[in-house]
Amino acid sequence: MSVLDELVAGALEDQHTRERTVSLEEVKQAALAAPAPIDAMRWLKRADGIPVIAEIKRASPSKGHLSDIPDPAALAREYEQGGASAISVLTEGRRFLGSLDDFDKVRAAVHIPLLRKDFIITDYQVYEARAHGADLVLLIVAALDDEKLKHLLDLAHELKMTVLVEAHTREEIERARKAGAKVIGINARNLKNLRVDVNKYNELAADLPDDVIKVAESGVFGAVEVEDYGRAGADAVLVGEGVATADDHELAVERLVKAGAQVKASESTPLSEHQGPYWGQFGGRYVPEALITALDELERVYNEAKADPEFHKEFMTLQQRYVGRPSPLTEAPRFAQLIKDKTGLDARIFLKREDLNHTGAHKINNALGQALLVKRMGKTRVIAETGAGQHGVATATVCAMMGLKCRIYMGQIDARRQALNVARMRMLGAEVVEVTLGDRILKDAINEALRDWVTNVKDTHYLLGTVAGPHPFPAMVRDFQKIIGEEAKQQLQDWYGIDHPDAVCACVGGGSNAIGVMNAFLDDERVNLYGYEAGGNGPESGKHAIRFAPGTGQLGMFQGAKSYLLETDEGQTLDTYSISAGLDYASVGPEHAWLKDIGRVNYSWATDEEAMNAFRDLSQTEGIIPAIESSHAVAGAYKAAADLKAKGYDKAVMIINISGRGDKDMATAGKWFGYLTDDQAKALEVTGAHGNTVA
Amino acid sequence: MTNTATTPSGQPLGISHKPSQTEAMFAKFKAANKPAFIGYLPYGFPNPDVSLEALKTMVEHGVDAVEIGLPYSDPVMDGPVIQAASSIALKNGETIKRVFEAVETVANAGGVPLVMSYWNLIYHYGVERFATDFENAGGAGLITPDLIPDEAGEWIEASDRHGLDRVFLVSPDSADERLETVAKNARGFVYAAARMGVTGERAHLDASPEVLVERTRKAGAENVCVGIGVSTAEQGAKVGSYADGVIVGSALVHTLLADDNRTARDTAEGLKLLAAKSEELAEGIHNAR
């Protein structure tokens, strides 16, 4: 006899005992006379959360004694306080040590739907559940034949109760569906490691239509399983031991409810309006508590500003009169010919000219936006990190314009690669601190900036330059940069009469220019999106900054956010390398990590060599010298064109985001292409300026 | 793959109601009206073997609980001394797998073993796997300088299953509701940062830690310890007069660093200085009241 058979037989025997006191007819009358049940269907599925069914559970056959629960009503109230959407009360007495008496006490104590959980196989038990005020009953497919299952399901539905139908296999789910189940309990635990197995869940639940409520029914203990099941698509979870045996029951339920809400919010659409803090499993705030107050303040002030038309007016006026926006969308026919020669794709290429902004890159969009927020917050000092120097220059520029004190952290190696930008920042009145700790590149500059911020957070704003870091930076920086794509879309229509591009290409370091140009197109499926990381010497060389290719980045927390990260087996951050200081970063913005996981953006890379060739190609076909960072997007355009061709496009309209101009890179390019005399090159070596390799 | 988070019969572990080692320690100290002395040292500094000796030395010379630091490549909460020590440890082959030896060393010496780690290291090792190995080694709890309770779902679950303490930080400008969130989710004690900023020795401490300890207690925390900036016996005594525990890091680490602050000091000399510094601080802290 299986455990289930035994439990069913016991439950039946117990029912017969009760029936001797209260006849079927009496229990029917009581069921019909009971106050109408709550429509539990409405409690078990919601757009903004994963409803929690918390269980009153003293013991189970598999785990034995769990908890005494002397006062089930008090426990139920704690569950309700914690935000449970329904409560499951075990009424089986032999192995689970529950009773209908428990059920009555709970019914009297709370006003949310109640599930009678028992081994129900007879009409009597169904009427009995209703008579005691149940809103839901459990039916176990494995304990019932088809006819019986349908009969009990219909009976419960007639009594206006909701039925949670428990199924363990595909066949059982089929049977439940055929019988008319509207709420199906799915058990997707991997019996080997007992963790929720998303593949198994998908295997079981894949074909279930939307109108069937899917309840994850087994193995839910804490936030981890809620997240796993939630991301796999479960509508609700049922949890027993994890809440019943917790020291603080209310807090335990609250944590599950929060985890569910977080999952739902993290997957919200439309993509272009996603506000964080989580993009899928990415993002968040992995920072010291000491920064939380400042981040909260920033988020609050930013939200106020966002809703304030005056803020937008001031921002847009400065964008127009100071930055020089809109930046043009320039058609590049001679470069398009090169693309056609190499790939066979008949492309019209348009360059979004962020290189023509004041300070020569897209970075000023964000620097300006955040500087206005600094004024709103009443802070007086600004710190920032910079890699290629473009963000540092942009920050120093807006600080000079607004009279803010400014300090820029720059890794020593980057400072040498970009000596001219260091001089520019100093000319603009900023203090430039060369960071000699760690690998002396962008990430180390960010570490120092974070240390400064933790220490001086009262009067200091950290003007982070990309869509990485802790919330609200990824969403906020995206908002300040999304003007790039919005303008490009409009210009394509107004200037060229083209409704939409077929492809958009951008380079991805932290990812702000890429998000900026892509955001306006994220929800337009017709637009193929391509992001290009810094390939350095290629993925196999170990000298690159590719986070997304197989065998490169892993999931991790870095500088405030969860994302993909280049790290060692020990979780230590790996050295990265790229000829482009601005893309030389071990991690990537969390929104990109999500866009990669959901397949919305195609990420690939361009090596140093490919980028430098593209640098020359664009310079010599169009008279536009792109930054080495942007050259990765130009190099990517060849790959994107090949991909479009493979997808069946013969003609295509492509936008390439030229995120910055290449003047700052002339020394590096001069060395690369041998345009400098030996003496000139030597002079650069001696001063340590413009080296194009990482020491 | 075997999952360690199971009972012998193959069921998942439930909530461990094992008593907290640190809470037991604080109860003992409270009964004697004394604060506890918590000392920090990165595991693997200056190298794995010497660091074990150093940890033992600390416990033998008056440190009650040890924060065993896990060296990290990007320690944003640490000042120059601990950065230097961490970087030396990483160069000398520190690995997280062997930190459990350090945990055992502290436990065997009679100290309460805590680990302090930036979150990515634990996440990468595997949260459940870390909790299992840490519990098996006799570990008491984990201090997480860059993991706030709001992000700690996986750790809360694992620490519940393994009966480990969760030590979160609060800082002088934390709002009351933040203190409440931390107090509610912490187990063992709450780590109060004496000032805004990174770790390191300071000549003067202002009055803010006392206010913070008071506010954190009011927010519901049972035990509140103060760290960051405490480096002398005198400061230890002052902080110990109101905090349940006094945490010292950089000043201890400093004894094992050479005068250039970038390389390790001669081992024998370093350990002697570490023993002396531990005693000096223990004297000040334990006689604070």
Q: Do A285 and B148 touch (CB under 8 A)?
A: yes
- Strands B36-42, B245-248: pairing is parallel
Q: Which residues contact A415 (CB under 8 A, 6 or more apart)?
A: A422, A432, A434
Residues B88-116 pLDDT 10s: 999 999 999 999 999 999 999 999 999 99
Nearest to A152 by CA among A124, A123, A174, A128: A123
A window 369-428, beta carbon within 8 A of B: none
Nearest to B36 by CA among B108, B114, B96, B93: B114
Token pair 């397949």 in the structure block, residue: A599
pLDDT of residue A62: 80
Q: Quick check: is A692 in a domain?
A: no
Is the backbone peptide bond immediately before A550 cis, with ω within 30 degrees of 0?
Answer: no
pLDDT of residue A266: 96
Looking at the fold, whether A540 and A639 belong to one and the same domain comes out as yes
pLDDT of residue B8: 57
Q: Quick check: is A152 in a domain?
A: yes
A window 187-206, beta carbon within 8 A of B: 192-195
Looking at the fold, whether A586 and A565 belong to one and the same domain comes out as yes
Nearest to A274 by CA among A562, A467, A45, A461: A467
The predicted model gives B74-86 an average pLDDT of: 91
Within 8 A of A292 by CB-CB distance, chain B residues are 148, 174, 178
Q: Which residues pair with A558 in a beta bridge?
A: A561
Provide the CATH number for the domain around residue A565. 3.40.50.1100
CB crowding A467-486: b at 16 or more within 10 Å, else e: bbbbbbbbbbbbbbbbbbbb
Looking at the fold, whether A350 and A439 belong to one and the same domain comes out as no
Looking at the fold, whether A202 and A67 belong to one and the same domain comes out as yes
The predicted model gives A48-65 an average pLDDT of: 92
Concerning whether A385 is annotated as a catalytic residue, the answer is yes
For residue A675, count other CB atoms closer than 10 A to its CB: 12
Which are the catalytic amino acids of B? 67, 78
pLDDT of residue B3: 44
Looking at the fold, whether A353 and A445 belong to one and the same domain comes out as no
Which chain A residue is nearest to residue B184, measuring alpha carbons? A251
Looking at the fold, whether A153 and A298 belong to one and the same domain comes out as no
A window 487-546, beta carbon within 8 A of B: none
Q: Quick check: is A655 in a domain?
A: yes
Q: Which two tokens stand for residue A440?
A: 């002396």
Looking at the fold, whether A429 and A522 belong to one and the same domain comes out as no
A window 226-255, beta carbon within 8 A of B: 227, 241-242, 245-248, 251, 255
The predicted model gives B139-146 an average pLDDT of: 97
A221 in contact with chain B, both atoms CB, cutoff 8 A: yes
Mean pLDDT of chain B: 93
Q: Dihedral through CA A132, CA A137, CA A142, CA A145, nearest 10?
A: 80
CB crowding A561-590: b at 16 or more within 10 Å, else e: bbbbbbbeebbbbbbbbbbbbbbbbbbbbb
Cα–Cα distance measured from residue A79 to residue A87, given in angstroms and rounded to the nearest whole number: 8
* pLDDT at B185 > cutoff 60: yes
A window 48-87, beta carbon within 8 A of B: 62-63, 66
Q: Which two tokens stand for residue B18?
A: 């094992």
Q: Could you give phi then psi for residue A651, rounded to 5 degrees?
A: -120, 150
Q: Give the DSSP letter string of A268-297.
A: -S-GGG---SEETTEEEEES-GGGHHHHHH
Q: Quick check: is A694 in a domain?
A: no
> Among residues of chain A, what percentage have pLDDT more than 70?
97
pLDDT of residue B262: 87
A683 in contact with chain B, both atoms CB, cutoff 8 A: no
CA dihedral over A368, A369, A372, A377, signed as positive or negative: negative
Concerning whether A363 is annotated as a catalytic residue, the answer is yes
Cα–Cα distance measured from residue A29 to residue A131, given in angstroms and rounded to the nearest whole number: 8
With cut-offs at 50, 70 and 90, classify the pLDDT of residue B1: very low
Q: Do A571 and B125 touch (CB under 8 A)?
A: yes
A223 in contact with chain B, both atoms CB, cutoff 8 A: yes
Which chain B residue is nearest to residue A440, measuring alpha carbons? B74
Range of the domain at A548: 328-358+478-687
Provide the CATH number for the domain around residue A125. 3.20.20.70
The predicted model gives A73-94 an average pLDDT of: 97
Which chain A residue is nearest to residue B80, measuring alpha carbons? A437
Looking at the fold, whether A333 and A380 belong to one and the same domain comes out as no
The predicted model gives A614-635 an average pLDDT of: 98
B174 in contact with chain A, both atoms CB, cutoff 8 A: yes
A177 burial type by CB count under 10 A (0-12 exposed, 13-18 middle, 19+ buried) = middle
* Domains held by chain A: number: 3
pLDDT of residue A430: 97
Backbone dihedral region of B221: left (phi > 0), alpha (psi from -120 to 50 degrees) or beta?
Answer: beta
Nearest to A361 by CA among A629, A664, A661: A661
Q: Give the DSSP letter string of A400-459.
A: HHHT-EEEEEEEHHHHHHTHHHHHHHHHTT-EEEEE-STTSSHHHHHHHHHHHHHHHTTT
A398 burial type by CB count under 10 A (0-12 exposed, 13-18 middle, 19+ buried) = buried
* pLDDT at A443 > cutoff 60: yes
With cut-offs at 50, 70 and 90, classify the pLDDT of residue A694: very low
Cβ-based contacts under 8 A for chains A and B? 151
How many angstroms separate the CA of residue B3 from the nearest CA in chain A? 5
Residue of B124, B182, B224 to mutate, interface with A, max A Cβ within 10 Å: B124
Cα–Cα distance measured from residue A96 to residue B7, given in angstroms and rounded to the nearest whole number: 19
pLDDT of residue B2: 36
Helices A390-402 and A419-427 cross at an angle (nearest 10°) of: 10
B83 in contact with chain A, both atoms CB, cutoff 8 A: yes
CA dihedral over A417, A420, A422, A423, signed as positive or negative: positive
The predicted model gives B274-278 an average pLDDT of: 97
Give A207 or B275, the one with higher predicted confidence.
B275
Within 8 A of A251 by CB-CB distance, chain B residues are 184-185
pLDDT of residue A193: 60
Residues A541-568 pLDDT 10s: 999 999 999 999 999 999 999 999 999 9
Q: Quick check: is A271 in a domain?
A: no
How many angstroms separate the CA of residue A501 from the nearest CA in chain B? 39
* pLDDT at A178 > cutoff 80: yes
Nearest Cβ partner of A286 from B11, B147, B185? B147
pLDDT of residue A689: 45
B184 in contact with chain A, both atoms CB, cutoff 8 A: yes
- Strands A431-435, A346-353: pairing is unpaired
Residues B2-57 pLDDT 10s: 344 666 556 678 898 899 999 999 999 999 999 999 999 999 999 999 999 999 99
> Among residues of chain B, what percentage have pLDDT more than 90?
84
Residues A292-344 pLDDT 10s: 999 999 999 999 999 999 999 999 999 999 999 999 999 999 999 999 999 99
Token pair 């006689």 in the structure block, residue: B287
* Domain end (from A456, A476, A496): A476
**DSSP state, A511?**
-
Nearest Cβ partner of A223 from B76, B153, B175? B153
A78, A250, A299, A385: the active-site residue = A385
B window 238-277, beta carbon within 8 A of A: none
Domains of chain B: 24-286 (3.20.20.70)
Cα–Cα distance measured from residue A609 to residue A566, given in angstroms and rounded to the nearest whole number: 22
Cα–Cα distance measured from residue B178 to residue B150, given in angstroms and rounded to the nearest whole number: 10
Which chain A residue is nearest to residue B195, measuring alpha carbons? A455
Looking at the fold, whether A465 and A491 belong to one and the same domain comes out as no
A307 burial type by CB count under 10 A (0-12 exposed, 13-18 middle, 19+ buried) = exposed
How many angstroms separate the CA of residue A392 from the nearest CA in chain B? 20
How many angstroms separate the CA of residue B61 from the nearest CA in chain A? 31
Nearest Cβ partner of B14 from A66, A224, A559? A66
Residues B123-140 pLDDT 10s: 999 999 999 999 999 999
Give A445 or A206, the one with higher predicted confidence.
A445
Helices A198-205 and A170-179 cross at an angle (nearest 10°) of: 40
> Among residues of chain A, what percentage have pLDDT more than 90?
84
* pLDDT at A163 > cutoff 70: yes
Backbone dihedral region of A559: left (phi > 0), alpha (psi from -120 to 50 degrees) or beta?
Answer: left
* pLDDT at A437 > cutoff 90: no
Nearest to A163 by CA among A150, A172, A174, A175: A150
Looking at the fold, whether A46 and A91 belong to one and the same domain comes out as yes
pLDDT of residue B195: 83
Q: Do B196 and A219 touch (CB under 8 A)?
A: no
Q: Do A221 and B157 touch (CB under 8 A)?
A: yes
Q: Give the DSSP letter string of A322-339.
A: II-PSPPEEE-HHHHHHH
Cα–Cα distance measured from residue B156 to residue B143, given in angstroms and rounded to the nearest whole number: 12
Give A222 or A218, the one with higher predicted confidence.
A222
List Cα–Cα distances, B192 to A248, A277, B3, B148, in angstroms: 24, 26, 35, 13
Check if the beta carbon of residue A409 is closer than 8 Å to that of residue A430: no
Give B166 or A211, the one with higher predicted confidence.
B166
* pLDDT at A667 > cutoff 90: no
* Domain end (from A476, A494, A521): A476
Cα–Cα distance measured from residue A372 to residue A394, given in angstroms and rounded to the nearest whole number: 13
The predicted model gives B256-275 an average pLDDT of: 94
* pLDDT at A693 > cutoff 70: no
Give B284 or A217, the one with higher predicted confidence.
B284
Check if the beta carbon of residue B167 is closer than 8 Å to that of residue B114: yes
Listing from the earlier edge strand, what are the strands of the sheet with A503-507?
Answer: A329-331, A346-353, A651-658, A503-507, A528-534, A601-606
B9 in contact with chain A, both atoms CB, cutoff 8 A: yes
Nearest Cβ partner of B77 from A193, A227, A454? A454
* Domain end (from A447, A476, A505): A476
Residue of B90, B121, B196 to mutate, interface with A, max A Cβ within 10 Å: B196
Token pair 């600094």 in the structure block, residue: A374
Mean pLDDT of chain A: 94
Looking at the fold, whether A317 and A333 belong to one and the same domain comes out as no
Q: Quick check: is A272 in a domain?
A: no
Q: Quick check: is A363 in a domain?
A: yes
Q: Quick check: is A44 in a domain?
A: yes
pLDDT of residue A63: 83
pLDDT of residue A688: 47
Looking at the fold, whether A435 and A553 belong to one and the same domain comes out as no
